[in-house]
Amino acid sequence: MRLVADPITVRVPAKVNVYLGVGPREESGYHGLATVFQSLSIYDEITVEVSERLEILGAGKWAELIPTDESNLAWKAATLVANAYGVEPHVRITINKSIPVAAGLAGGSADAAATLVACNALWGSSLTHEQLEEMAAQLGSDVPFMLRGGCALGVNRGDVLSPVMTRGIFHWVLATFREGLGTPEIYARLDDMRGVDFDEAPSVPNELLAALAQGDSSALGAHLYNDLQAPAIASRPQLGQVLEFGAEHGTLGGLVSGSGPTVAFLVDSEVAAIDFVIALMGSGLVDGAIHAHGPVHGARVVPT
Ligand code: ATP
């Protein structure tokens, strides 16, 4: 094993689910998903360096919300890679966070994917991408996509991926909120709303895949869909008002991202995005508004 002494920094993007179909609750407690992920240009940066013990430091805008113990997915990721190399996981992981926390943007999963890549680079780069993907799937159902980035169809729990063809750049505005929403609570609400007899398997409509392949933002805007949107609005009715605000302001479409509370709006250009960011900030309905574009690549080492 070659030990690289220099710190390694990995950049990893957030994601939005442009389609999120959720099946009935299985006996295991999980739900089958049919989802299309798109990675977005909001990045966390993870730096790993040799240390005397495994430790996590938070930095950046959301630093105080980052868990610094073993509950952090990055901690678990470092431990998995260390086990594969047969070494102690003695690294300092600095998480410079720009992805809002508990926002439905998979920030924790992004950090886990980035830590897999960073620790592999630190300890000799001998694990293959397939091995890293296997570890990613053990860490959580969104982690394999965060490793890959781009645009992908996810089935099973969202962890079985196939690439989705896209053309061009899609411009997004994300309405963000200081207070997060808990993913398990939103799934439980969905189950309650549907009742015990619900048994429809989810599937992604061809029109949505065609819109992505053609780079047609208007068509994509018309087909954005999320089964978790209704329970997220039931938990936080303000999200419904934010969606209405977007519709009145000529966005191409909007939806709650993942389990929320972030609301993602598709717009047709960078200029439209900047205008809508200003409008949203003036609305008094949101805590923040971020312009992002997608798709972008997944977790990658930042060249020194
Ligand atoms: P989910 O993957 O459940 O949809 P999310 O994208 O909505 O999550 P995250 O930012 O991943 O939200 O945070 C969810 C929870 O995970 C937080 O409450 C936090 O305590 C925990 N967590 C674990 N590791 C991290 C991390 N590296 N960054 C942020 N939160 C983390």
304 residues of the chain, pLDDT tens digit each: 555 479 999 999 999 999 999 999 999 999 999 999 999 999 999 999 999 999 999 999 889 999 999 999 999 999 999 999 999 999 999 999 999 999 999 999 999 999 999 999 999 999 999 999 999 999 999 999 999 999 999 999 999 999 999 999 999 999 999 999 999 999 999 999 999 999 999 999 999 999 999 999 999 999 999 999 999 999 999 999 999 999 999 999 999 999 999 999 999 999 999 999 999 999 999 999 999 999 999 999 999 8
State the pLDDT at residue 115: 98
| In a domain? residue 3 | no
Evaluate the omega torsion of the peptide bond into residue 24 and state whether it is cis, within 30 degrees of 0. no
In this structure, the residue with its CA closest to atom 29 of ligand 1 is: 108
User: Same domain for 57 and 200?
Assistant: no
In this structure, the residue with its CA closest to atom 18 of ligand 1 is: 102
User: Is the shortest distance between the CB of 261 and ligand 1 below 6 Å?
Assistant: no
User: Same domain for 97 and 73?
Assistant: yes
State the pLDDT at residue 62: 87
User: Is the shortest distance between the CB of 84 and ligand 1 below 6 Å?
Assistant: no
User: Residue 289 sits in a domain of what CATH number?
Assistant: 3.30.70.890
User: Is the shortest distance between the CB of 273 and ligand 1 below 6 Å?
Assistant: no
| Residue 268 near residue 275, CB atoms below 8 Å | no
In this structure, the residue with its CA closest to atom 17 of ligand 1 is: 102
| Enclosing domain of residue 159 | 8-164+297-301
User: Same domain for 280 and 133?
Assistant: no
User: Same domain for 186 and 99?
Assistant: no
User: Is the shortest distance between the CB of 103 and ligand 1 below 6 Å?
Assistant: yes
C-alpha distances in Å from residue 207, one per residue of 169, 198, 224: 18, 25, 10
Evaluate the omega torsion of the peptide bond into residue 295 and state whether it is cis, within 30 degrees of 0. yes
What's the structural domain count of the chain? 2
One-letter-per-residue 3-state SS of the chain: CCCCCCCEEEEEEEEEEEEEEEEEECCCCCEEEEEEEEEEEEEEEEEEEECCCCEEEEEECCHHHCCCCCCCHHHHHHHHHHHHHCCCCCEEEEEEECCCCCCCCCHHHHHHHHHHHHHHHHCCCCCCHHHHHHHHHHHCCCHHHHHHECEEEEEECCCEEEECCCCCCEEEEEEECCCCCCHHHHHHHHHHHHCCCCCCCCCCCHHHHHHHHHCCHHHHHHHCEECCHHHHHHHCCHHHHHHHHHHHCCCCEEEECCCCCCEEEEECCHHHHHHHHHHHHHHCCCCEEEEEEECCECCEECCC
**Which atom, in ligand 1's list, is nearest to the CA of 260?**
7
| In a domain? residue 2 | no
State the pLDDT at residue 61: 84
User: Same domain for 85 and 190?
Assistant: no
Q: How far is the CA of 73 from the centre of ligand 1 (A)?
A: 8
Mutate to test the pocket of ligand 1, among 12, 101, 177 (most ligand atoms within 8 A of CB): 101
Is 15 catalytic? The answer is yes
Is 142 catalytic? The answer is yes
User: Same domain for 246 and 215?
Assistant: yes
User: Same domain for 143 and 104?
Assistant: yes
In this structure, the residue with its CA closest to atom 13 of ligand 1 is: 102
Mutate to test the pocket of ligand 1, among 33, 62, 69, 72 (most ligand atoms within 8 A of CB): 72
Q: What value, to the nearest 5°, has the Cα angle with vertex 276 and ends 224 and 45?
A: 75
Q: How far is the CA of 272 from the centre of ligand 1 (A)?
A: 30
User: Same domain for 89 and 191?
Assistant: no
Of 44, 142, 159, 216, the active-site residue reads 142
In this structure, the residue with its CA closest to atom 14 of ligand 1 is: 102
State the pLDDT at residue 31: 96
| In a domain? residue 287 | yes
